[in-house]
Chains A and B, each alone.
Chain A
Amino acid sequence: MDTVADKQKREDSLNGVGCSRKRKEDARFIQGKGNYTDDIKMPGMLFADMVRSPYAHARIISINTEKALALPGVHAVLTAADLKPLNLHWMPTLAGDVQAVLADEKVHFQYQEVALVVADDRYIAADAIDLVEVEYEELPVLVDPHKAMTTEAPILREDLVGKMEGAHSTRKHDNHIFNWQAGEKDATDRVFDAAEVTVSQDMVYHRVHPCPLETCGCVASMDKINGKLTVYLTSQAPHVVRTVVSMLSGLPESSVRIVSPDIGGGFGNKVGIYPGYVASIVASIVLGVPVKWVEDRMENISTTAFARDYHMRGELAADSNGIIKALRVNVLADHGAFDSCADPSKFPAGFMHICTGSYDIPVAHLNVDGVYTNKAPGGVSYRCSFRVTEAVYVIERTIDVLAQKLGIDKAEIRRRNFVKKEQFPYTTCLGFELDSGDYHTALEKVLDAVDYKGLRREQEEKRANGELMGIGLVTFTEVVGAGPSKSCDILGVGMFDSAEIRVHPTGSVMARMGTITQGQGHQTTYAQIIASELGITSDEIAIEEGDTDTSPYGLGTYGSRSTPVGGAATAVAARKIKAKAKKIAAHLLEVSEDDLEWEVDRFKVKGVPGQEKTMKDIAWAAYNNVPEGMEPGLEAVDYYDPPNFTFPFGAYLCVVDIDKDTGVTDIRRFYALDDCGTRINPMIIDGQIHGGLTEGYAVAMGQEMPYDEEGNLLGNTLMDYFLPTFVETPKWETDYTVTPSPHHPIGAKGVAESPHVGSIPTFTSAMVDAFAHLDVTHMDMPHNAYRVWKQIKALGLLDN
C-alpha cells in the first residue's frame, strides 16, 4: 500500500482546516427549510406590534387604549403603566445606562416605543395601533451633538437629573454620558508643541445602520403550567439574554430557555435587547400564550442599534521625513437618547484606542466624550469590532493628510511608519499588545498586484487633462476576539467562550458552542476544526449553537470573536478528547502512550507497521473497553479565556474615476489583501470579505441617517436608505498572506469585520485623492453623487 497516498487520501477525506469545504447549512436554506423567528408558529400564538412616537421629544399627556381594546381580535394593550409595577418600564443596557421599554412620562426619540398591542394576527394588530390615541406636548429637540453640552441645550434625560456619576465617569452636563481617555495627554501635547510638522483634520463618521435583511423579532412563550419561559429570538448572544431575562423577570435561569434559531444576518444589529422583546415576554407572561413580535424595516432602521456617529479630530505630529512622533484624537460621540452602546463594560468607547493603527507611534492620547441626543440608541454595530471602524478611519485619514502635507507618497509614508515584523508582539502606546504582523510584505504584494506606480503615472496624465482619478490606500490593523476576562466582560460576565464536543460510540460527533452564527458558516467551519484535530470527517460532525438549554454558556457572536474565542475553545476541547483517546489507544495496543504517534485519523505504534487504532476504533472502545479507572465515554468541554485579542490586518487599494459633470463615481478597481492567520475555510473567508467590502462601499458611498431639526429621521426605509444591488456593487479582488496568531491554538485570527473596517477609509482615501492635487485633504461621507458634485462645484471645476 502506498502509505503516503493513503495518508493524503485520509487527510483529504476529513475536509478539515484549510479546505474550501461546501457548507453544511446550505441544504436547508436553498430549499426554504431554514427556521427563522418569523417561521415559528405555536398553538395559540398571538401577534404583538408597537405604537410608536411621531415626535422626537415630547411629554406624554395621556394614552387612550379604549378603542383599540374594543376592536375584535385585540387581547391587550400594554403601556408603561402596566410595566411599572414590575419595574420593567426601563431596562438596563450593555453600556450601564437604562433604556425605556415603553415611554413613561416622555418620549426621547422619534419612533420610540409607546405601547404594545397584542392581537390575533399582525393585520389586526396594525389596525389596533391606529386606534391607540396618544396626546403629546412637544419639547425642544436636540439633534446636534456639538450643541448637546451648551447651557441652552434642552435636558433630555430627566430620569438622570442630579445623578452626575454615570456608569463610566463623572458627567459634566445633563446631556453628557461619559468621558473616556487613553494614553498620556501631557506627554503627547509636549511632542506636538515641539514637532517639526503637525497636521489636524476634523472628520465625521456618519450615522449608518446595519440593516440586516431579516429584521429583529421574537416569539415569547410563557408556559404557566411548568413555569418555564421559552423565547425564540434574533439574538447574537442568547446566553447573555437568558441571564438578563432571568435577572429582570425573577425566573431562575434554569426556567428560562432562549433560542436563537436561524438568523437572517445580524451584523451587530442583534446583540442587544430591544423593547419589543421585553414587552412581548411580559405580554406572554400576562396572557399565558405565545406572543410573536416582528418589526418592519422602517422600525428596524429607525429604532434598533445604529452604527458610528463619531465626530473626530485626528492630529499627527511628525518629522519632515514623515516619521510619526505622536497621535492625538478627540471624539464627540453621539449615542442617542439612551446609552445602549454594546461594549465590554470597561470600554465605553470600545476599542477606539487601537487608533494608533499599524504604526509605531511613540506616544498618543485619545479623548472621547459621549452625549445624549433625541435619537435612537446604538453606536456599536455593523462590523465595527467595538469602534475599530472609527479608529481605523481616523488614523488612516490622518496619515493621508500628513503624507499630503509633506508631499510623501501615501504608500511610502506607511512603509516608513509600520510596526516591523520583528517588533511583534508589539505593545502600542495606548495599551494593546499586537500579536503578530507582517505589514511590509502585505503592502508590497498589493502594490505589485495593481501596478501602483503605473496607476500613479496614469493619474498624473489624467490630472493634466483635468480628469478626476483617485487612488485610495489603507493598511489597517484590527483587534478582534474579545476578550481576556481580566479586562473584558459583558455586564460582569467574562468574555470567554466555549465548546462541548461529544463523540458517539460509532465515531460521529455532536458539538455545541457558546457562539451563534448569523450566516458566517460556523456549522461548517467548527466541524472543520474538530475534523482536523480528531481525524473524524467533518461530514460526521454536527454543530449546534443558539439553544441555551443545550449549548455551553458563551458570550455570542460579534466583534469577529467566534474564531478567536469559540474556535480556540473548540480546538482545546478536541485536544482534551484526543488526549483521552491516546490513553485508550495505548490500552488497546498494549503499549505506552509514549510509543504512539498520531497520523491524520489514528494512533500508530512507532516503528511497528499495522499496529494502529483509528479514532473510530477508539470511540467504540471508549464505550466498552477503557483502561481501569477511566470514565467511559469520549467527550470534553472547554471554556476558553483568551490570553489576548487577535490582530488580523489588511492592505486595501481602490481606484475611482469621478465624472466631473455629475459627481458620479465609478469604482474601477478594489483590491483587498487580508491576513487572518491560519485560514480555516478560504471559500467562507472570501464570502465574508465580499460581504464586508460591499457594506463598506454602501457606507462610504451612500448610506446615511440624517435627522432634521425637529428630530425627524429622514430616509429610514429602502426608498432612500442605500443598500447596493448587484448593479452598483463593484467587483472585488481578494488576496491574502498568512501570519498566524502565536497565542491561538490553531493560529487563526478573526476576519469577518476586517473588510468593513478597512474598506470604508479606502473609499474615502480614493475619493479625496481624486481632489488631492487641488489641496483637498478630506471629504466627509457619504460620497454620493450630489455631495461629490458639490465638492466639484466648490472647487470651480464645473464647465458651466
Chain B
Amino acid sequence: MAKQAVSFTLNGKTVDVLVEPRELLIHTLRENLNQTGAHIGCETSHCGVCTVDIDGESVKSCTLLTVQTAGSDVKSVEGMATADGLHVIQQAFVDEHGLQCGFCTPGMLMRAYRFLQENPDPNDEEIRWGMSGNLCRCTGYQNIINAVKTAAKNLQQA
C-alpha cells in the first residue's frame, strides 16, 4: 500500500510522517513518533485510553486515520507539562489519587484538559457525563472526579 506524507502539529512542533492511508493515528503517535503515553484498550472505540486533543476537541485516536490529521493541531499527554512544571490537572490527579495502574491516565488527562475548557466549573454530575467516554478499571472514578474538581478550582484561581 503506497504511503502518504502527512504533516501536522504535535505538542507545538511540526511533525512529518510517511504512513499508509489505513494507519490509525494512535499507531502513528506510538510507533512512528514514539509518543507512547496514549494507549490502546479496545478495538470498538469505547475505552478512550487513546484520547488526544485535536483542533480543540477530544478525539479517540484509535478511531481516526493519520492521513485525516493533515494540518491539524494535535496535543498529547507528553505536551501537558511545561518547563514551569506539571499542568494543574496533572498535579490534581496526583493529589487526589486519581490513578493507579496509569493506563487510562493519559487519555483521562487529555479529556479533562478539554472538558475543563468546555465547562470550567462543573458539578459531579457534569463531570461524570463529561468524562464518560473514558473507562478506568482501577479507581472506581471517584478520585478522578475529585481530581477534576480540584483542577477546576485551581485553574480558576490561577
With A519-B102, A723-B137 as known contacts, state yes or no: A213 contacts B43, CB within 8 Å. no
Would you call A213 and B78 a contact (CB within 8 A)?
A: no
With A264-B102, A732-B140 as known contacts, state yes or no: A727 contacts B94, CB within 8 Å. no
Which listed residue, B86, B136, B138, B139, touches A30 by the CB 8 Å rule? B86
A504 to B47, CA, bound (A): 43
Would you call A691 and B100 a contact (CB within 8 A)?
A: yes
Which listed residue, B47, B102, B128, B133, touches A34 by the CB 8 Å rule? B102
Q: List chain A residues, Cβ under 8 A from B101.
A: 212-214, 262-265, 518-519
A252 touches B (CB below 8 Å): no
A732 to B131, CA, bound (A): 18
Q: List chain A residues, Cβ under 8 A from B132.
A: 725-727
Which listed residue, A683, A690, A717, A723, touches B142 by the CB 8 Å rule? A690
B10 touches A (CB below 8 Å): no
Q: List chain A residues, Cβ under 8 A from B41.
A: 213-215, 264, 297
Would you call A296 and B37 a contact (CB within 8 A)?
A: no
Number of A residues near B (Cβ < 8 Å) is 57
Q: List chain A residues, Cβ under 8 A from B90.
A: 30-31
Would you call A38 and B30 a contact (CB within 8 A)?
A: yes
Q: Which of B53-61, B63-71, B103-111 contacts the other chain? A: B103-111
Number of B residues near A (Cβ < 8 Å) is 58
B-contact bits for A20-34, CB 8 A (1 contact / 0 none): 001101111111111
Q: List chain B residues, Cβ under 8 A from A690.
A: 139-143
Q: List chain A residues, Cβ under 8 A from B37.
A: 31-34
Q: List chain A residues, Cβ under 8 A from B86.
A: 30-31
Would you call A519 and B100 a contact (CB within 8 A)?
A: yes
B157 touches A (CB below 8 Å): no
A651 to B59, CA, bound (A): 42
With A212-B137, A690-B139, A694-B141 as known contacts, state yes or no: A717 contacts B42, CB within 8 Å. yes
Q: Which residues of A from 639 to 696 have beta carbons under 8 Å from B?
A: 683-684, 686-687, 689-695
B25 touches A (CB below 8 Å): no
A267 touches B (CB below 8 Å): yes
A690 to B146, CA, bound (A): 13
Q: Which residues of A from 703 to 724 have beta carbons under 8 Å from B?
A: 717-719, 723
Would you call A213 and B128 a contact (CB within 8 A)?
A: no
Q: List chain A residues, Cβ under 8 A from B42.
A: 296-297, 717-718
Nearest chain B CB to A513 CB, angstrom units: 18
A263 to B137, CA, bound (A): 13
Q: List chain B residues, Cβ under 8 A from A22.
A: 94-95, 97
A-contact bits for B31-59, CB 8 A (1 contact / 0 none): 10011111111111011010000000000
Would you call A691 and B140 a contact (CB within 8 A)?
A: yes
In chain A, what residue has the closest Cβ to B102? Answer: A29
B144 touches A (CB below 8 Å): yes
Q: Which residues of B from 105 to 158 have beta carbons under 8 Å from A?
A: 105-106, 109, 127-129, 131-145
Q: List chain A residues, Cβ under 8 A from B43.
A: 296-298, 717
Nearest chain A CB to B139 CB, angstrom units: 6
Would you call B78 and A32 a contact (CB within 8 A)?
A: yes
Would you call A213 and B129 a contact (CB within 8 A)?
A: no
In chain A, what residue has the closest Cβ to B86? Answer: A30
Would you call A727 and B140 a contact (CB within 8 A)?
A: no
A687 to B100, CA, bound (A): 8
A174 to B141, CA, bound (A): 46
In chain A, what residue has the closest Cβ to B80? Answer: A31
In chain B, what residue has the closest Cβ to A517? Answer: B101
A683 to B142, CA, bound (A): 12
8 tightest A-B contacts by CB? A32-B37, A29-B102, A519-B101, A264-B103, A690-B140, A519-B100, A694-B140, A39-B36
